[in-house]
Amino acid sequence: MKKKVQEIVNTVFVGDSRDVLKDYPDKCVDLCITSPPYWGLRDYGVDSQMGLELEMDEYIGELVGVLDEVYRILKDDGTMFLNLGDSYSGSTGRSGGISEINSIDRQLKTGSYKNLRPAKVAGLRPQNLMGIPWAVAFKLRDEHGWNLRSEIIWNKTNPMPESVLKRPTKSHEHIFFFAKIKDYYYNHEAMTEPAKNPNSGEPCIERKLDGEPSRHGLKGAAASGAGNFHTGERRNMRTVMTLPTNSYKGAHFATFPPKLISPFIKGCSRKGGIVLDPFMGSGTVAEVSKKLGRLYTGVELNEEYHKLINERTSQMEMFI
């Protein structure tokens, strides 16, 4: 039997998203922001967890299955921001499906994943970037009904160090913006950002084109709106967001920076709306949603992380 909406509000369920989301009612949440486990990169200490599949295609299939449930759960005008990282193909025949790391306490304290390695992928030579984020995005777009609206690059100012000498250090992740329908909810004003001079970093001085498009090299549609073009203190959000990762005491992993997801929550959900994270982790989505006057709901596989979520949301309630 499906849960009632009041049963999911401001609640994070302990369990596997592949099972728990099936009990959510249809079209009950406004927005989904999530960062699923990346393939072969971390062991969360739970049997049959997502991310430790032996084949890349199996991982993608499991993840897309969860996002099919998200599609069902989202309201028709709902949207999703999906954060995924990539990795490189290995030379072994198995992925990190079997890990030597058995201590969840060690995972919580160190986040070690040195015993996990991406698998040898059929048809892909070792040391090749696998392109998992785009493989997932294209599958959702082409086969599962999602509208892929934008690719946002999270440019990390403090990326994880890598011992590599024959390629650049990876310092970004993909965030894909999806919608269910053409007329989805989107508050443009809430999705703007400070407009800064690229040279000085200072706010741009208000200016306006003189209404003569030809003087500015504009033609066609761009020319028709040239007289209204101006820059000021705010501008439309860009597709590159430069922010450091955040850490949270007690969590081994780098969490979403609140500044990364705050615009998504303000721009793609209304006050009092419900924000879903089916891979809740340390609870950043829940915490930021509540601070911004939204409700939250989600799922977390590991009981230790569930305790962190409760700690964060209860502390927040004490101070607001």
Q: What per-residue confidence (pLDDT) applies to 49?
A: 85
- Residue pLDDT, tens place only, 8-42: 999 999 999 999 999 999 999 999 999 998 887 77
Q: Calculate the alpha carbon distances from 239 to 8, 179, 281, 313, 320 in Å.
A: 32, 16, 25, 30, 32
Angle, in degrees to the nearest 10, between helices 132-143 and 56-73: 50
- Residue pLDDT, tens place only, 235-262: 999 999 999 987 655 554 557 899 999 9
Q: What per-residue confidence (pLDDT) applies to 171?
A: 92
Rounded mean pLDDT of 310-314? 61
Q: What is the pTM of this model?
A: 0.81
State CA 235 to chain mean position distance.
Answer: 23
- Residue pLDDT, tens place only, 101-129: 333 443 434 343 444 555 667 788 888 99
Rounded mean pLDDT of 56-61? 93
- Residue by residue, DSSP assigns 170-237 as P-EEEEEEEESSSS----TGGGEEE-B-TTT-SBPPPEE--S-GGGGT--HHHHHTGGG-EE-SEEEP
Q: CATH classification of 5-195+236-319, choosing from 3.40.430.10, 3.40.50.2300, 3.40.190.10, 3.40.50.150? A: 3.40.50.150
Neighbours of 186 (CB within 10 A): 14
Domain with CATH 3.40.50.150 in the chain: 5-195+236-319
Higher per-residue pLDDT: 164 or 190: 190
Mean pLDDT for the chain overall? 80
